[in-house]
Structure 1
Amino acid sequence: MAGKFSQAFRESLTFPQNLVWLLWVAFPLYGFMASNFLLPPDDGYTRQVVMASLTVDISAVEPLVFMVFNLLGVIPMAYALLVLFDGDEQPLPAWPFVILSFVVGAFGILFYVALRRWGRDVEGAKSRLQQQLDTRTGPAILLIVSLLLVIVGAGGSVQSYVDLWQTKPLVHIMTIDLVLLLLVLPFLTMDDMRRRHVDARAWRVLVVAVPLFGVLLYLLSRPKLIDRGASSSGSPV
C-alpha cells in the first residue's frame, strides 16, 4: 500500500494533476483569509441557511442561496457514483474522501482526485456496494432533486445573491466550492466513459457544457461496468 501510494503521489505531481493539488491547497487558504480578513464576520446567516435547508423553508433565505447550498449535497453524490467504482488500481479507497466531501466540499474530494490514477481500468471484482450503485435509481433521484432546486433558484435575484456573496462568508465560500466541484466533475465522468467503453462525442460535449445535468444524464444512461474479477475467474457476480 505504501509503495503504491508513493508511486501514485509522484505521478500526480505532473501536469495536469498538479493543478488539482494547487486547488486543494489554495482553496482552504483563501477560505481562511476571506472568512477572517476579507469579509465581515458571520452574523448568524450560516445558521439561518442551515435551518432553512433542514426545514425546507425556502422563504427564509434568498432562493439562489438555498439552491447552491443544497446542490453542494447533490454534487458529492454524483462524485460518489463515479469514484466509488474505482478499484484496486487506486492507491487509496475513495469512500473516506466521498464522506469528507459532504462536510468540507471540494477540499475533501480534491485530495483523492489529485492522487487518483487516471486512465486505468478497474482492477478486482465488483463489490456489493458497486453492484448496488450501478443502477439508474440513484442518478434519477439526483436529477429530480437538482431540477427542483434549480426551479427554486429561478425565483431568486442575481443581484441579491451577488450582494450576499460580497458580505456573507458562507455564500462566498460555498460559491467557490460549487465552481471547483463542477470544474472537476466532467473529467471524472469522461474517465468513467472510457472504462465503460462509452465512445460518444456528444456526451463529452454535454458534460463539459452543462456539468451537473450533463453528468447526471450520463449516469442515468451509462452501461453497467464490466466485472473483470468475475470474468477472469469464470464465476458469476
Structure 2
Amino acid sequence: MARKWILAAIWLSFVGYTLWLAPLDRSYTWSLARKLLTLQWNDLNAYIPAIFSLMGIWPMIYACMMFADGRSQNFRVWPYFIGANFTGVLCLLPYLIVRQPNAQFYGSKDKWLAMLDRRSTGIVLLLSTIGIFAYALIAGDWSDYVAQFQTRHFVHLISIDFLLMCLTFPITTLWQNDMARRGFHHPKLAWEIATIPLFGPLYYLCIRPPLRENSASQPTQATQRPISSANR
C-alpha cells in the first residue's frame, strides 16, 4: 500500500507541475512537437529527439510486463499503454496505482503477448536504446540541451517525464510479479535490474524465461493465492 501512495504522490505532483507550466500555451511547443513526430530532426539538438524516442522505449518496456499482468486485473491494459505513448507517466501511473499484485498467469498467449514475451523483443529494445544514446552523444550539444531544458517547458517536461519513468520502475511491484510469474528467483540480480535506470529493465527483458501457458481459467479474486508480503 505504501508503494501505491508514493506512486499516487508522484502522479499528482507531476500533473500539477504540468498544469502550472502549461507547455501547450507556448507557441514553440507545437512547432517542436510537429518536427519530432514527422522526423524532421536535422535542425534539432540530437538530445531532444533522443529523449523523445526513449519515451517510446519506456512504454514498450512496461508493456512487456503489463499485458501478462493484465490477465489478472479487472480492467483493460490497452488504454493505459496507448496513453503512455503520448503522455508518459500521466497515463502509465494510474495503471500502476490501481492494479492488484498478482504472480500468476492464466490461459494462453495471443500473438501480441507472444511478441512481448520473446527475448528477441528485449534485445531489439536494448539495441535501439544503445543506438539512441549513441546518436545523442555523437550529434548532440549538451550545453544547448541544458539551456533548452531551463527555458522551454516542453523540453523540460519530457525530460522529467523520462526521469519519472526510470524512478517508478523499482517502486511498483509490476516487475517483481513478472519475475514470480516466470519462476525467476534471483534476489540480488533482481534489485540490480530494478535500480539500474533503463538498462536494468532492458537487460531483464533479454534474459527472463518465457511465460508458461496453461489451460486453466483464472480463479475468482476470493480464491486466488495471496501474494507474499515481499511482492506487495
Q: Which residue of 1 aligns with 2:222?
A: none
Are the aligned partners of 1:49 and 1:61 in contact in 2 as well (CA < 8 Å)?
no
Q: Which residue of 1 aligns with 2:115?
A: 132
C-alpha separation between the residues in 1 aligned to 2:60 and 2:12? 23
Show CA shifts across 1:35-80 (max 9, x none). Answer: 26xxx952425523542453363x4211211211110011101111
Equivalent pairs counted in the alignment come to 214
1:221 aligns with 2:207: yes
TM-score by length of 1: 0.80
**Compared with structure 1, are the counterparts of its residues 153 and 86 closer, same or farther at alpha carbon in structure 2 (3 Å cutoff)?**
same
Cα distance, 1:190 vs structure 2: 3.0
Aligned residue identity for 2:59: P
Question: Which portions of structure 1, spanning 4 or more consecutive aligned residues, are displaced by more than 4 angstroms?
Answer: none
Cα distance, 1:25 vs structure 2: 2.1
In terms of mean alpha carbon deviation, does 16-25 or 87-96 score higher?
Answer: 87-96
**Compared with structure 1, are the counterparts of its residues 164 and 46 closer, same or farther at alpha carbon in structure 2 (3 Å cutoff)?**
farther
**Compared with structure 1, are the counterparts of its residues 166 and 41 closer, same or farther at alpha carbon in structure 2 (3 Å cutoff)?**
farther
Superposed, which structure 2 residues align to 1:1-237 within 5 Å?
14-35=1-22, 42-48=26-32, 50-52=34-36, 54-55=38-39, 57=41, 59-118=42-101, 120-128=102-110, 129-155=112-138, 156-186=140-170, 187=172, 188-229=174-215
In terms of mean alpha carbon deviation, does 157-166 or 216-225 score higher?
Answer: 157-166
Structure 1 unmatched ranges of 5 or more = 1-13, 233-237
Which secondary structure state, in structure 2, belongs to the residue aligned with residue 150 of structure 1? helix
Aligned residue identity for 1:208: A
C-alpha separation between the residues in 2 aligned to 1:172 and 1:18? 25
In terms of mean alpha carbon deviation, does 168-177 or 187-196 score higher?
Answer: 187-196
Cα distance, 1:96 vs structure 2: 1.5
C-alpha separation between the residues in 2 aligned to 1:162 and 1:215? 27
Are the aligned partners of 1:46 and 1:170 in contact in 2 as well (CA < 8 Å)?
no
C-alpha separation between the residues in 2 aligned to 1:92 and 1:231? 17
Are the aligned partners of 1:101 and 1:109 in contact in 2 as well (CA < 8 Å)?
yes
Are the aligned partners of 1:203 and 1:214 in contact in 2 as well (CA < 8 Å)?
no
In terms of mean alpha carbon deviation, does 217-226 or 19-28 score higher?
Answer: 19-28
Are the aligned partners of 1:41 and 1:169 in contact in 2 as well (CA < 8 Å)?
no
Cα distance, 1:90 vs structure 2: 1.4
Structure 2 unmatched ranges of 5 or more = 219-232
TM-score by length of 2: 0.82
Cα distance, 1:127 vs structure 2: 3.5
Aligned residue identity for 1:173: L
C-alpha separation between the residues in 1 aligned to 2:61 and 2:113? 14
C-alpha separation between the residues in 1 aligned to 2:55 and 2:69? 22
> Comparing both chains, which one has the higher relative contact order based on Cα–Cα distances under 8 Å and sequence gaps of 6 or more?
2
